[in-house]
């Protein structure tokens, strides 16, 4: 569901020996990405939930339904992505050991598993937290599988399209817990600020990955920006620009949710944003693999730090 088949747990999909059938199915769901999607959905849930009162049963059902529904939906969309990209995965060293190209699973099996998981996820969301989260999840699937996946081989602008399914999960959580409820909850400032934060964060994160694996992407026929930018000037400029934009994007939630977020989150967002921008500028100067790798690892530290600070500050404000 998130846009990148190459994010946080890219190399974890590799196995030294043929996996069991169940393990192979799990690998097709890209578990690292699925966990990240679920976590960002639950962050949205937590921030909206702090702003309303609950009965114990209502809270537990909504929390579990949001988490399980998001997890199943994201895993299903990722499996469908691997089914669609099976031939190209076989051409790239980084993905050649995935279950279909490695011969561990038949393509039809992965297709069936993906469709089942997507359907199950939507059903869980619809039954436990309502139509709005279910529709947001459906939008994630459609954009990721039907729009982003085929566009990756046609234009580098596909990266922008790919931010959408990576940015919508917080809205799944937000609309699951919002006191407003229904489709109206999707226009609330708090949820939208999380959507914007995730949108902007993904861009330098992905371009750093694409720079590291640009040869692999070229073998697979994927049109990513670094593949058409041998010098790295355009890629580094894009990374610096979006890293600079990330600073206001990460601070905006404090203004969108003033009753929940204050100095704790704002200071963390500002400091980590400046550090991240400094690393982006360092990559722009050197344009080498070590600098790109540092930026990539910084991005996967940056987001959890922000989200933890957000939840902690929200709880502090709720208790005071």
Helix spans in the chain (H):
21-28, 31-49, 56-84, 86-89, 107-128, 131-141, 149-151, 158-167, 169-177, 189-212, 214-220, 233-256, 263-286, 289-319
Looking at residue 1, what is its pLDDT?
53
Indicate the pTM of the whole model.
0.91
Contacts of residue 22, Cβ cutoff 8 Å, sequence gap at least 6: none
Q: Which residues of 163-181 are buried (b: 16+ CB within 10 A; e: fewer)?
A: bbbbbbbbbbbbbbbbebe
Instruction: Set out the domains of the chain in order of their start, with CATH numbers.
Output: 1-185 (1.10.357.140), 188-320 (1.20.120)
Q: What is the pLDDT of residues 85-138, one digit of tens each?
A: 999 999 998 899 999 999 999 999 999 999 999 999 999 999 999 999 999 999
Rounded CA separation 115/135 (Å): 16
pLDDT tens figures, 163-184: 999 999 999 999 999 988 889 9
> What's the DSSP call for residue 20?
P
Counting as low any pLDDT under 50, the low residues of the chain are 2, 4-15
Residue 16 has what pLDDT?
Answer: 54
């Amino acid at each position: 569901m998130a846009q990148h088949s190459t994010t946080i747990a890219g190399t974890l999909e590799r196995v030294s020996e043929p996996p069991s059938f169940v393990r192979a199915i799990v690998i097709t769901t890209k578990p690292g990405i699925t966990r990240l999607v679920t976590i960002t959905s639950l962050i949205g849930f937590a921030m909206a939930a702090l702003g309303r009162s609950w009965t114990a049963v209502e809270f537990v059902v909504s929390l579990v339904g949001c988490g399980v529904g998001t997890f199943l939906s994201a895993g299903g969309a990722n499996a469908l992505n691997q089914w669609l990209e099976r031939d190209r995965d076989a051409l790239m060293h980084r993905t050649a050991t995935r279950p279909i190209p490695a011969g561990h699973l038949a393509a039809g099996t992965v297709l069936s598993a993906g469709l089942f998981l997507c359907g199950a996820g939507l059903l869980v969301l619809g039954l436990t937290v309502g139509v709005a989260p279910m529709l947001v999840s459906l939008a994630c699937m459609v954009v990721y599988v039907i729009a982003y996946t085929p566009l990756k081989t046609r234009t580098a602008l596909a990266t922008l399209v790919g931010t959408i399914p990576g940015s919508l999960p917080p809205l799944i959580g937000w609309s699951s817990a919002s006191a407003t409820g229904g489709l109206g909850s999707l226009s609330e400032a708090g949820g939208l600020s999380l959507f914007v934060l995730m949108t902007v964060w993904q861009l330098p994160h992905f371009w750093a990955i694409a720079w590291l694996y640009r040869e692999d992407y070229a073998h697979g026929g994927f049109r990513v920006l670094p593949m058409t930018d041998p010098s790295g000037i355009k890629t580094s400029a894009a990374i610096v620009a979006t890293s600079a934009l990330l600073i206001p994007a990460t601070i905006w939630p404090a203004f969108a949710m003033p009753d929940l977020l204050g100095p704790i989150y704002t200071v963390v967002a500002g400091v980590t944003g400046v550090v991240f921008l400094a690393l982006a500028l360092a990559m722009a100067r050197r344009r080498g693999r070590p600098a790109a790798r540092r930026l990539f690892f910084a991005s996967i530290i940056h987001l959890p730090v922000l989200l933890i600070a957000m939840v902690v500050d929200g709880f502090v404000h709720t208790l005071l």
